[in-house]
């Protein structure tokens, strides 16, 4: 009986100590307020529509933007949603009030409709910006092949 009572006491003590630790956990941190002086990217357009374009057409487009914040803007990462979408972002800081651009190349060797994204990471407010490209790449028109001459056709005897 003493063993049973000791076991119950031990289990109760462990359960209570677990509750004490669970209650002592710190409250989650509140998100920091955005810096009012942070850079801000203002884009002319968040989406570029290539429209309907021929197979292997020029796949380059440009997103133009201005840093409308109060501090220099530094883009730390730019990546496309797949290997067929390759962005190129400026590597130098963009001062407040200055314009710049994100160049994007889409591989137009892929046939059909597409919608892809470019994700930018920077010191701006907000720190992540998603841009969209979309369009439709037509397939090549069929190539006309010369009709084969019938097998029993006589060769031309023209003397020209």
Q: What is the pLDDT of residues 18-46, one digit of tens each?
A: 544 445 555 555 556 678 889 999 999 99
CATH topology of domain 41-137: Immunoglobulin-like (2.60.40)
Report the side by side order of strands in the sheet with 99-106: 41-43, 60-67, 99-106, 85-88
Q: What ranges do the domains of the chain cover?
A: 41-137
Q: What are phi and psi of 52, to 5 degrees?
A: -100, 120
The pLDDT value recorded for residue 21 is: 47
- Check whether 119 has a pLDDT greater than 90: yes
For residue 73, the cross-strand partners are 94
- Check whether 17 has a pLDDT greater than 50: yes
Per-residue pLDDT tens for 77-96?
Answer: 999 999 999 999 999 999 99
Q: Among 95-99, 131-135, 136-140, which stretch is predicted with the lowest mean pLDDT? A: 136-140
Question: Average pLDDT in the 7-17 region?
Answer: 54
Beta-strand pair 128-137/47-53: parallel
- Check whether 156 has a pLDDT greater than 70: no
The pLDDT value recorded for residue 35 is: 86
């Amino acid at each position: 009986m003493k063993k049973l009572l000791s076991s119950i006491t031990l289990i109760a003590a462990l359960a209570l100590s677990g509750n004490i630790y669970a209650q002592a956990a710190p409250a989650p941190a509140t998100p920091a307020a955005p810096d009012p002086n942070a850079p801000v990217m203002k884009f002319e357009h968040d989406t570029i529509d290539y429209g309907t374009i021929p197979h292997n057409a020029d796949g380059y487009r440009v997103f133009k933007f201005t840093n409308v914040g109060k501090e220099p803007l530094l883009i730390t990462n730019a990546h496309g949603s797949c290997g067929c979408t390759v962005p190129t972002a400026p590597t130098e800081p963009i001062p407040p009030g200055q314009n710049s651009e994100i160049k994007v190349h889409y591989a137009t060797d892929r046939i059909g409709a597409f919608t892809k994204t470019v994700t930018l990471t920077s010191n701006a407010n907000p720190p992540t910006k998603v841009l969209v490209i979309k369009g439709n790449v037509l397939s090549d028109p069929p190539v006309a092949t010369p009709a084969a001459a019938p097998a029993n056709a006589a060769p031309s005897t023209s003397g020209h």
